[in-house]
Amino acid sequence: MQLVRRDAGVRVLVCTPSNAASDLLAERLAAAGLDSDKLYHLDDSSRHEEDVLEDVQTSSVFPGHGRLLAFRVVLSTCSSASMLKALDVPVGHFNYIVIDEAAQTEEPLAMIPIMGFSNAHTNVILVGDPNQLGPIIKSPTVVKAGLGKSYLERLMLMRETYGLDTQSGKT
């Protein structure tokens, strides 16, 4: 909301790891005053309109409806963000890509919106707490390949400044 209020031309892609998180965020953005003419809530193509919470339906637009590029905020799951390519959203269209619940988002999933739509002028914001729930990784092959963490956790572990235990001086 701060980004939208501060800059009348800003375009933000907000992605979450799940439909439930996306619905909750849509609900909160609407309650904070983001009008449905500014918010495009891109739902997974496998979801039916009746499966979406009633409070969120006013901002939910199912694929193929509306002109996507006119919206200031596009909200979807990380995996559903891949549908934006089919809807002809160009790389660099968004000034900001926000991954909400980034500590719960598997790294490959977080890369869908980041690699698909960012360029040198796009700001990427990862929001989450790596001390809470992490991603659920069921594949031993994925863990063995080093993808058993969220992208947020991996970045934090790479930087001493953002170490997970900054209070005790240990990283």
Question: Which tens digit of pLDDT belongs to each residue from 6-58?
Answer: 999 999 999 999 888 899 999 999 999 998 889 988 876 554 555 555 554 44
| Neighbouring residues of 8: CB distance < 8 A, sequence distance ≥ 6 | none
Residue 52 lies in a domain: yes
What does the block give as tokens for 7? Answer: 């800059």
Domain that holds residue 55: 2-132
Query: What is the amino acid identity at position 25?
Result: L
pTM above 0.75?
Answer: yes
Place of tokens 């002809």: 88
Q: How many domains does the chain have?
A: 1
153 within a domain of the structure (yes/no):
no
8 Å CB contact between 128 and 94: no
Tens of pLDDT, residue by residue over 116-145, are 999 999 999 999 877 776 777 777 887 787
Residue 47 lies in a domain: yes
Q: By CB neighbour count within 10 A (0-12 exposed, 13-18 middle, 19+ buried), where does 40 fall?
A: buried
Q: Considering the domain boundaries, does residue 123 fall inside one?
A: yes
